Amino acid sequence: MSYRMEIDALNALVKEQQRTNELLEIIVKQTRGEDDEHENVKPTRSATRKTSK
């Protein structure tokens, strides 16, 4: 695997982790009763991903 491919893969992981953190923050706020942000939740990447077979 080339360095560029490794960097791209790591960048993708970082983006996924950032999204996970955002969703966790929203969940924590909702469980504390601060649910004003739940309307801003975007579909997760897996929900929008298109697979072709």
Q: What's the pLDDT at 7?
A: 97
**For residue 35, is pLDDT > 70?**
no
Q: What is the 3-state secondary structure (H, E, C) of the chain?
A: CCHHHHHHHHHHHHHHHHHHHHHHHHHHHHHCCCHHHHHHCCCCHHHHCCCCC
- Phi, psi torsion values for 2, nearest 5 degrees: -75, 160
In angstroms, what is the C-alpha Rg of the chain?
Answer: 15
Task: Assess contact for 19 and 44: CB atoms under 8 A.
Answer: yes
Find, among 9, 12, 5, the residue nearest to 45 by Cα.
12
Query: Across the chain, what does the average pLDDT equal?
Result: 81
Average pLDDT over residues 4-15: 97
pTM attached to this predicted model? 0.54
pLDDT of the residue at 6: 96
pLDDT of residue 41: 59
Over residues 7-16, the mean pLDDT reads: 98
Read off the pLDDT of each residue in 13-40 and give the average, rounded to a whole number: 87
